Amino acid sequence: MSTVAGFAVYEHGIRATDVTLEQVTQLKWGKERFVWIGLHEPDAELLSKVQRLFGLHELAIEDARVAHQRPKIELYGNSLFVVLHTAQKTGDNPIEFGETHVFMGNGYLVTIRHGPSSAYSEVRQRCENQPHMLRKGPDFVLYSLMDFIVDNYMPIVASIKDRVEELEDDVFKKPFDSATLENIYSLKRDLMSLKRIISPLTEMINRLMRFDITLIDRDTHAYYRDVQDHVIRLLESIDSMRELLTSALEAHLLLANVQQNEVTKKLAGWAAILAVPTAICGIYGMNFRFMPEIEWEYGYFVVMTGIISICSYMFYRFRKAGWL
């Protein structure tokens, strides 16, 4: 269901009287006065109204309507189209991914949320509490949105890091377990999904700070660089955890092979020991008529003593070799 999550006009960094979408057409906007509209999964009719109001490119509107876009930044004339991916995780539930599409131009900013994502009322409140920064215009709002989205990645990456450390302990302190393998693959999949949505941000921010995009004031470049620094640290953390998980997986499989070899050696050792009485008793079970020990009073005792002695000696040798 499409909803208008937020709608306000800001003048000199101060929120003016709220207006409706139809009333915006009667206003003049620019850097000193801009409109910030927040939409949640809008339908085609609402998107068409926004398109006509701000003269947005039809290709960008089509992307915003369909969603399922990769993170990117596109420049259409005097309008900027940015696609960001959001991520959120609650308890032991899987990571949920959503999309945020941003249209920014001279005097307006439109955010469109698709799928699971946190509402941007917190971002709006934070910006309104800094009127001296909000008066910079929509480019500061875009920075605030990107900073908020990147900050929401951090607790997810931190929780994965805790799970990776727990898995490292499980690999070396617990016997081979298929559940450990499943957890390793699950974490690697989560890290891969996060990297896929985070890694494009570095190049996107670089482009935002280029001189060909005049919509971004040079005064805000330092803020975008701060977001870029957070992104780089997240990517470094993700890469290091992926390497740790790969090493843990290799170690886990290696330890499983070692355990299997130990079992094989023990089975082979016991099989060799049991082969001695099996062979001797098998000979006596063949019912020969003439056997030296049959007519001898101590024959049975000597045979049993020989079996026990040989088996004991073999057990000693296998134990010394570490097979038993």
Using one digit for the tens of pLDDT, what is the confidence trace for 33-62?
Answer: 888 888 888 888 888 888 888 888 888 888
Mean pLDDT on 119-134: 87
Same domain, 243 and 208: yes
Query: For position 231, what pLDDT does the model report?
Result: 94
Same domain, 112 and 173: yes
Same domain, 28 and 122: yes
Q: Which residues constitute the domain of residue 273?
A: 261-320
Last residue of a domain, one of 209, 234, 254: 254
Q: Is the pLDDT of residue 171 over 80?
A: no
Same domain, 141 and 281: no
Query: For position 102, what pLDDT does the model report?
Result: 93
Same domain, 153 and 290: no
Last residue of a domain, one of 201, 219, 254: 254
Same domain, 121 and 265: no
Q: Which residue has the higher pLDDT, 190 or 307?
A: 190
What does the mean pLDDT of the chain come to?
81
Q: Is the pLDDT of residue 289 over 70?
A: no
Same domain, 233 and 307: no
Same domain, 298 and 241: no
Same domain, 172 and 227: yes
Query: For position 228, what pLDDT does the model report?
Result: 93
Query: For position 234, what pLDDT does the model report?
Result: 94
Same domain, 138 and 97: yes
Q: Is the pLDDT of residue 148 over 60?
A: yes
Instruction: Find tokens 């063949």 and name the residue.
Output: 286
pLDDT band at 324 (very low <50, low <70, confident <90, very high): low
Q: Which residue has the higher pLDDT, 310 or 186?
A: 186
Q: What is the CATH number of the domain that holds 292?
A: 1.20.58
Same domain, 35 and 55: yes
Task: State how many domains the chain has.
Answer: 2
What percentage of the chain exceeds 90 in pLDDT? 21
Same domain, 130 and 95: yes
Encoding tokens for residue 25? 């057409």
Last residue of a domain, one of 199, 231, 254: 254
Residue-wise pLDDT for 93-115, tens only, equals 788 899 999 999 888 899 999 88
Q: What is the CATH number of the domain that holds 52?
A: 3.30.460.20
Residue-wise pLDDT for 236-273, tens only, equals 999 998 888 887 777 767 766 767 767 777 777 777 77
pTM of the model: 0.77
Report for 26-30, 156-160, 211-215: range of highest mean pLDDT: 156-160
